[in-house]
Amino acid sequence: MGSWPRARSDATIRPILLPGRLLHGLHAGASCVGSASRTIVRVLSQHSGVPALLVAAVLLVVAWRLVRKTLRFAVEVAMVTAALVLATQLGWIRW
């Protein structure tokens, strides 16, 4: 009756990953990344003497180039993997 913890019925148990909780977790992660990037830009600006806006622009360009090259590599790997799977299915290659 007054024992702790109280037993719950199956109807009152909620799943761990509700959409609201999942979105809250994504928002918390994004704010953490934003905070870290602001800190990095501020520290680089203070130590180099270059304005923060210029540091942020350079970091943005470098990040864009890195993402673009990574995506190209991922597409190439996917295409080669698909070609190998197709060749294996057609019997051209035996592993």
Q: What is the pLDDT, as a whole number, of residue 40? A: 86
Q: What is the pLDDT, as a whole number, of residue 36? A: 83
Give the separation between CA 70 and CA 76, rounded to whole angstroms: 10
pLDDT in tens, 54-72: 999 999 999 999 999 999 9
Q: What is the pLDDT, as a whole number, of residue 2? A: 55
pLDDT in tens, 10-34: 555 555 555 666 556 656 666 677 7
Q: How do the domains of the chain map onto residue ranges?
A: 19-90
Q: What is the DSSP string of the chain?
A: ---SSPP--TTTPPPS--HHHHHHHHHHHHHHHHHHHHHHHHHHHHHH---HHHHHHHHHHHHHHHHHHHHHHHHHHHHHHHHHHHHHHHTS---
